[in-house]
Structure 1
Amino acid sequence: MFHHPIRTATTLALLSCLAIPAAAQTFDPATMTPEQRNAFGAEVRAYLMENPEVIMEAVSQLEANQARQQAVADEQLVADNADALFRDGFSYVGGNPDGDITVVEFSDYRCGFCRKAFDEVEELIEGDGNIRFVLKELPILGEASLTSSRFAIATMIESGPEAYKSVHDALMTLEGEPSEPVLRRLSDTLGLDADTILARMSDDEVNRRIAETRQLAQSMQVNGTPTFVFGNQMLRGYVPLDAMRQIVDEIRDEG
């Protein structure tokens, strides 16, 4: 088992306080003699050996405290970036545009966990019927990711949101590299103008949208994909369908 050195040190420090009477906690360790320090260490070790469950209890409490602190910090990040997050004016908006909950996904077409989540997110949105869904193009996994996003965004600009969604879905399940011949075949299959879309992939507007989304991700401390925002909650990484449904239910109950 891998042991995190900082967590272990922190836990031992906490447990050291638990292992001595409250009245003794006011002492200054700097005043202890080497003999006293050795004796104290021996007492703490003996306590932990006799009560190993205390270590797990302390670790669990520490992790719970850290999770609460992260949730509070994430809520503030969402509030501080709400306009760019929910209403940037260029990201795809699907589901129910008037839904009572907005779900945002930062996604990369080459991300394995984004692909794993794809069908489940679709099922969540379609099955619920009252979720506003915002897709953020965040190509962070190399040139193929960037090419795919450029093609999808150029499609949005040239042919609108319905065409974009068709391209997005196809790219999310595409096997192999998004080479020009592949993108041309994809365009033809969907009835799109390949020449026009391919020509727009390097437009300033495409560059602007990618740059703004990357800046938003940086501001919100989004370091990987998929990252979701459910209402005012951030969820980093893949989330199973049942868990997403539970989160939606909890948000509605709180509302």
Structure 2
Amino acid sequence: MASIVATPDIGHNGTVTSAQLSHARVGGIQRPNTVQVGTIVWLGSEVMFFAGLFAIYFTLKSTSPGLWADQSSKLNIVFSGIITIILVSSSFTAQFGVFAAERLQKWRTGPWWDLKRWGVVEWFFLTFFLGAMFVVGQVYEYALLVSEGVGFQSDPYGSAFYLTTGFHGLHVTGGLLAFLIVIGRFFAVKTFTHKEAVTAIVVSYYWHFVDVVWIGLFIVIYVFPRIGV
């Protein structure tokens, strides 16, 4: 009878890739990791949710183009561009954390300034910090817009703006909580195993998703009005 192997293959250097972590070999057949597949399916439903928000935004915009041109001029595209760069940067730090997790490296193995030797904990802490900076920047932007008369109930533009960006901000906040939970779990375990590595990978899926959604929102809400779209 064919032997059954339930653990991922480990490379010659002792590392495990995300592709290897995604499958368990049974009689030579690769089966996808259920946690990763479930996360991808759930993110698919989130895509539909944000597609609905985009549809609401464009529908309201088509009914009040003059209002959109006037209110969107109050947006500070430079400031929003800066916090966008910060959020996009956090996707890179999250992915570097995944690379460390694939090496099963929980902590840094050298001085703090040697980024090549950082572990998943250090990279995820930096990701959390960058994501928190984005949320703080978004709250600051809200305060400025409210002071200029752009509120949620002020007009259709305000409703569309806060609805779309607000739900995204909630998703970012949820991602920050997920990072804290995952980091706490890494602190709690004595040995960093493949199970913890898979956890790091699925959290990164979610974080990359919210980053991509924000890029779309930034282009639609901030860039398009400036170029007359």
Specify the TM-score bucket, using the shorter chain as the normaliser: under 0.3
Whose Rg is larger?
1
Q: What is the TM-score when the length of structure 2 is the normalising length?
A: 0.24
Query: Quick one: higher RCO (CA 8 Å, sep 6+), 1 or 2?
Result: 2
